[in-house]
Amino acid sequence: MSDTLSVGKKLVDLCREGKNMKAIETLYSPDIVSIEVSGGPDMPARMEGLPAIKGKSEWWVANHEVHKAEVDGPYPHGDKFIVVFKYDVTAKGGPMAGKRFFMEEAALYTVHDGKISHEEFFYSMG
């Protein structure tokens, strides 16, 4: 199996088990680059390095109660693969606090030397 497909399958398996932080810790390069559709002063669209990306994931976990998560993929092509995430969540903080909503996004990952070196998220801003 190619590195790409192998890493993609591990990521999908861990995310299906809700072990997103373990996925970051075991599958991500120390030099990971992560790109959101948009950003703000506290959380720029482009973030670099494992500590920043772990921080983003910790923020997400702390601010969302997940009722159901669905993960589709991985869909590989060369050194890249795509995964689709669908979440049924209630926001625990911020302007959406207490509101239950459905969110879905696609993520495009690049694998370099057996580790995820780049991730880019695709979603509508609602």
Chain positions contacting a copy of itself, by CB under 8 A: 5, 35, 37, 72-78, 80-82, 84, 104-106, 108, 120-124
Nearer to a copy of itself, 62 or 125 (CB): 125
Nearer to a copy of itself, 38 or 62 (CB): 38
Cβ of residue 105: shortest distance to a copy of itself, in angstroms?
Answer: 6
Contact 121/33 with Cβ under 8 angstroms? Answer: no
Contact 64/97 with Cβ under 8 angstroms? Answer: no
- Cite the DSSP H helix spans in 17-123: 20-27, 50-63
Cβ of residue 121: shortest distance to a copy of itself, in angstroms?
Answer: 7
Nearer to a copy of itself, 4 or 20 (CB): 4
Nearer to a copy of itself, 35 or 61 (CB): 35
Cβ of residue 97: shortest distance to a copy of itself, in angstroms?
Answer: 25
CB within 8 A of 111, min separation 6: which ones?
3, 4, 7, 8, 79, 80, 81, 117
Chain CA centroid to CA 9, Å: 14
